[in-house]
């Protein structure tokens, strides 16, 4: 393992997200706290740049490519067989837990329902090992329309240094914020993040990460956000979840500072509501977003999507909306969606939903 970080490797990647070196250090210390030899572990890592994570004199705030951090995270998670989002929990979350949790919440009606079911799932897993439930009611509301979500408390974390504990909690909060945003297809603006631990010497990165007031020495680890998000419906299906899970939960770490879900919003704004026109090509779309085609495709992949899936989802949503209006004939809906032939619309709609437009309309009418 080389003895020092190649600074050029960190600075020559302006388009790649970065995180402080101390985040990678924390993940390695989590493994060490679980009994793994730190020297052997760092020697086994292949992160693509010259770096000694614990070199004397190296600045823990030094920014490194997020891909390096993700590689460290992936290694530790694989080593520990623990998918607890690197939260340093005493009780591990075995490999496959995250997938099963996602499957239990993907059909929830809104974010509130999904978050409550997620804690129910986690408490069930705890019960299998004899642990008491962490929090039967993780979400609280105040009279000002602010929601607060509670995370595990100190008693459930392994014994690591105080600053590493803060990083571990911040890490988890950032991931759950991004995961919640993915579920509803929009960025969640935080109003406050609370930590049980004391403030670290340098809070600049935490401030940049959350862009909201930070509170330390609190009774619980929490984040606060506008309660209106709780009523937002989940926008994904088992198909999009399947794509998301191919890289999850690791890709939730790869760009914690950038809100990739807003890319979808911007793309929808560019397309507008007139689907009778041709969709912009992926080249035209990337130009309007001021990014390369490669970057756009990478961002969509991190969201469990592709440009073709984005177009299909847009048309599918518009089709179901039109079909809910009985005054519109199915052939008219086909024309509104830009199909030259109704038969092509029928084939596409069945591919999207598993039903023909007529079957979908009949099913909807039976509900009322």
Are 337 and 306 a contacting pair, CB within 8 Å? no
Total-model pTM: 0.56
Residue 8: predicted pLDDT? 35
**Chain-centroid distance, C-alpha 186:** 11
Which residues fall within 8 angstroms of residue 232, CB to CB, at 6 or more apart?
Answer: 110, 111, 184, 186
Nearest to 17 by CA among 310, 305, 302, 307: 302
Residue 211: predicted pLDDT? 84
Residue 129: predicted pLDDT? 67
- Distances in whole angstroms, Cα of residue 98 to Cα of each of 94, 95, 104, 190, 238: 9, 7, 10, 23, 14
Residue 166: predicted pLDDT? 78
Residue 157: predicted pLDDT? 54
In the chain, the domains with their CATH numbers are 7-80 (no CATH), 97-231 (no CATH), 260-366 (1.10.10.60)
Residue 248: predicted pLDDT? 60
Residue 120: predicted pLDDT? 86
Residue 134: predicted pLDDT? 62
Are 194 and 222 a contacting pair, CB within 8 Å? yes
Nearest to 156 by CA among 199, 80, 218, 220: 220
The pLDDT tens digits along the chain (368 residues) read 343 444 434 434 434 567 778 778 877 877 787 778 888 888 888 776 777 888 888 888 888 887 787 778 777 777 766 555 544 455 556 667 778 888 899 989 899 999 999 888 877 877 776 666 666 678 999 888 999 998 766 545 544 555 667 777 787 788 888 888 888 877 788 999 999 888 888 888 788 778 899 999 998 889 999 999 999 888 777 877 877 776 665 556 554 444 444 677 778 777 877 787 788 899 999 988 888 999 899 888 877 789 999 899 888 888 887 888 888 899 999 998 888 899 999 999 999 989 999 998 888 776 55
Residue 66: predicted pLDDT? 73
CA angle centred on 301, ends 298 and 307, rounded to 5° = 90
Which residues fall within 8 angstroms of residue 86, CB to CB, at 6 or more apart?
Answer: 26, 27, 30, 73, 76, 77, 168, 171, 172
**Chain-centroid distance, C-alpha 348:** 29
Cα separation, 107 vs 105, in Å, equals 6
Q: How many CB atoms lie within 10 A of CB 345?
A: 23
Nearest to 31 by CA among 83, 79, 74, 89: 79
């Amino acid at each position: 393992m080389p003895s020092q970080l190649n600074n050029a490797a960190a600075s020559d990647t302006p388009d790649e997200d970065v995180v402080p070196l101390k985040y990678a250090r924390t993940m390695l210390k989590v493994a060490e706290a679980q009994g793994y030899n730190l020297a052997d572990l760092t020697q086994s890592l292949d992160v693509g740049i010259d770096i000694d994570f614990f070199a004397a004199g190296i600045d823990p705030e030094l920014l490194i490519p997020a891909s390096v951090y993700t590689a460290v995270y992936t290694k530790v998670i694989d080593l520990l067989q623990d998918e607890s989002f690197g939260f340093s929990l005493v009780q591990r979350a075995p490999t496959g837990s995250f997938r099963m949790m996602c499957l239990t919440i993907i059909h929830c009606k809104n974010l509130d329902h999904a978050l409550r079911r997620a804690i129910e799932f986690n408490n069930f897993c705890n019960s299998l090992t004899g642990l008491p439930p962490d929090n039967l009611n993780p979400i609280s509301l105040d009279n000002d329309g602010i929601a607060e979500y509670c995370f595990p408390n100190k008693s459930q974390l392994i014994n690591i240094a105080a600053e590493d504990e803060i990083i571990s909690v911040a890490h988890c909060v950032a991931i759950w914020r991004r995961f919640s945003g993915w579920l509803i297809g929009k960025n969640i603006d935080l109003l406050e993040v609370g930590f049980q631990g004391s403030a670290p010497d340098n809070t600049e990165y935490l401030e940049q990460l959350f862009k909201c007031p930070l509170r330390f020495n609190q009774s619980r680890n929490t984040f606060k956000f506008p309660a209106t998000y709780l009523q937002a419906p989940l926008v994904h299906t088992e198909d999009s979840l399947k794509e998301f899970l191919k890289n999850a939960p690791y890709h939730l770490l790869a760009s914690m500072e950038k809100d990739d879900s807003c890319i979808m919003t911007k793309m929808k704004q560019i397309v507008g509501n007139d689907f009778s026109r041709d969709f912009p090509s992926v080249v035209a779309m990337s130009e309007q977003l001021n990014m390369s085609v490669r970057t756009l495709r990478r961002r969509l992949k991190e969201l469990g999507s592709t440009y073709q899936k984005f177009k299909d989802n847009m048309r599918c949503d518009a089709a179901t909306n039109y079909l809910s209006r009985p005054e519109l004939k199915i052939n008219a809906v086909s024309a509104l969606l830009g199909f030259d032939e109704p038969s092509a619309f029928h084939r596409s709609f069945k591919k999207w939903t598993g039903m023909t437009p007529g079957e979908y309309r009949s099913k909807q009418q039976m509900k009322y």
